[in-house]
Structure 1
Amino acid sequence: MATTIHPTAVIEPGAQLGDSVTVGAYSVIGPKVRIGDGTTIGPHVVIQGRTTIGRDNRVFQFASLGAAPQDKKYKGEDTELVIGDRNLIREFVTFNTGTVQDGGVTRVGNDNWIMAYVHFGHDCQLGDHITISNSVQLAGHVTVGDWVTLGGVTLIHQFCKIGSHVMTGMGSAIAQDVPPFMITTGAPAEVRGLNSEGLRRRGFSPERLAVIKQMHKLLYRQGLTFDAAREAIAALAGTVPEADGDVALMTQFFAASTRGILR
């Protein structure tokens, strides 16, 4: 299937479009943009900067991808936005490129569902299979793991990390790192429980769920200091081999935390 470009769209010299790409009316594609096969760009979309978009994405009208970061330290460096495959990006979404103060790349993984009015600041790193509801706002340098669900109007402070399989309630205001598997709500946010139903839907066995529940209990229900809870969670490795990957996910998250764990 041939690439289809509306006659009113502006494709600047140097832009690279793969096979079967569709570009809608009045969209603007900058000279350093690369778009993979099968991706659909709706009308009135602006894609700028050194932006790479993978295969089979769908970008809706009025999105802005690859604009300069909203950072006063940015001096025009040739930083980057990288978007993976099979993402749905709805209306008025804004993703900025990275900064040289970090890795220089804002990165979005694969198979994500990103609803309207979402903003990703510079240097954000997003995994795969994430669902982001309307008006979620991520400040710069935020990391979001796989299979996360962010409720509408969730606000995340710069440099925060959101662990895999986390769910946030509507209007959550998050200023510290949220460990994997948890549910958080409130402004300021608090961990309210375990994302048990989401894990069951993803096929987690009762044995794995039992270990994850034990990690939640050690971290939030037994009055332990963080250091004591972390040691007790690490000691769960090997008790249920099927859940060793889940224990490793939690302990690795603790090691990478820079803003402190939301407790």
Structure 2
Amino acid sequence: MPEPGQAPDRTGIHPTALVDPRASLGQGVRIGPWCIVGPDVQLGDNVRLHASVMVEGHTVLEDGVEVYPFSTVGYPPQDLKYADEPTRCYIGAGTVVRENVTIHRGTAQGTGETRIGRNCLLMANAHIAHDCVLGDGVIIVNNVVMGGHVIIGDYARIMGSAALHQFVRIGHGAVVGGLCGVEMDVIPYGSVLGNRARLVGLNWIGLKRSGVEASEIQQMRLAFRELYPRSGRGDALLGERMDKVRQRYGHIGRVVEMLRFMEAPSRRGLTRPGQGGPEKDVEG
């Protein structure tokens, strides 16, 4: 951002773009043809808006954010209770927003802010609804839609055309398979598949790619099988199984992370395994 009293660099603005003079522009910003930038927008250094991008509201795009054509950022939420409150939208540094993505600002009834972390990739036609929170390094594949108040942990992967119910939590490093309808929370490093999502294992491929040691992955696999045995024992015993896992695998940070997620307050409950079927690897 320019220093107070320093005029912003507007040399990279196409003559057909409509940029409000009250908008805050960093150095090296490039704004393509037919873009619209509202008065309360802040663009960090080296932000690039390709053609026909619209950014409105109290919206911050940090350094190096790149937004492709026909995307809209910071417009009012699709919430009938919204009454034009000055809610916010934030996109972290290095995030890439591809074509036709819609990112709405928050609501007064929610957190007041829709927030996307650093170095995320939002592929074409995705919808990020009001009050959603995405961590760092999240990948949202084409045509993914989500209701309001969804929380997605760092480095999670949401595959094409998945649909996330409002208030769902997706844990750190989890992967949601393509075409999934996710109505309940997904544990950290979990892997879900199905028309109505069912837990099919952990995100083994993602763990390997992120450099987790094979010995730790094996311990996580054993912990997962103890949490969710294939014998299909009832949910009433889940707390007992969690206690045993904590005793046996409490020295493994990622297992502890899963247990804390499972114990945290939830509006939707936890996604559980489907009946029968082997564990599966989902490309993530």
Measured against the shorter chain, the TM-score band is over 0.9
Asked if 1:258 corresponds to 2:267, the answer is: yes
SS at match of 2:225: helix
- How many residues in Structure 1 have an aligned counterpart in Structure 2? 261
User: Counterparts of 1:234 and 1:110 in 2: how far apart (Å)?
Assistant: 35
**Mapping of residues 1-263 of structure 1, within 5 Å:** 3=10, 4-222=12-230, 223-226=232-235, 228-237=237-246, 239=248, 243=252, 245-254=253-262, 255-263=264-272
Report if aligned partners of 1:207, 1:242 keep a CA contact under 8 Å in 2. no
Q: What displacement does 1:217 show?
A: 0.9
What CA deviation, in whole Å up to 9, does each residue of 1:172-216 have, x standing for no partner? Answer: 011111111121111111112221111011011123212321232
User: Counterparts of 2:23 and 2:243 in 1: how far apart (Å)?
Assistant: 49
What CA deviation, in whole Å up to 9, does each residue of 1:103-138 have, x standing for no partner? Answer: 101000011111000001100000011111100001
User: Counterparts of 1:207 and 1:240 in 2: how far apart (Å)?
Assistant: 13
Report if aligned partners of 2:146, 2:165 keep a CA contact under 8 Å in 1. yes
What is the identity percentage for the equivalent residue pairs of Structure 1 and Structure 2? 35
Name the counterpart of 2:278.
none
Q: What displacement does 1:99 show?
A: 0.5
Larger radius of gyration: 2
User: Counterparts of 1:230 and 1:17 in 2: how far apart (Å)?
Assistant: 52
User: Counterparts of 1:236 and 1:139 in 2: how far apart (Å)?
Assistant: 33
What CA deviation, in whole Å up to 9, does each residue of 1:115-170 have, x standing for no partner? Answer: 00000110000001111110000110000011111110000000001111111211
| Change over 3 Å in CA distance of 1:229–1:205 after alignment to 2 | farther
SS at match of 2:39: coil
TM-score by length of 1: 0.94
User: Counterparts of 1:214 and 1:124 in 2: how far apart (Å)?
Assistant: 33
TM-score by length of 2: 0.87
| Change over 3 Å in CA distance of 1:11–1:55 after alignment to 2 | same
Read off the aligned partner of 1:74 and give its amino acid letter: Y
Unpaired runs of at least 5, structure 1: none
User: Counterparts of 2:266 and 2:237 in 1: how far apart (Å)?
Assistant: 16
Q: What displacement does 1:230 show?
A: 4.1
Report if aligned partners of 1:219, 1:230 keep a CA contact under 8 Å in 2. no
Unpaired runs of at least 5, structure 2: 1-8, 273-284
SS at match of 1:5: coil
| Change over 3 Å in CA distance of 1:209–1:121 after alignment to 2 | same
User: Counterparts of 2:20 and 2:49 in 1: how far apart (Å)?
Assistant: 15
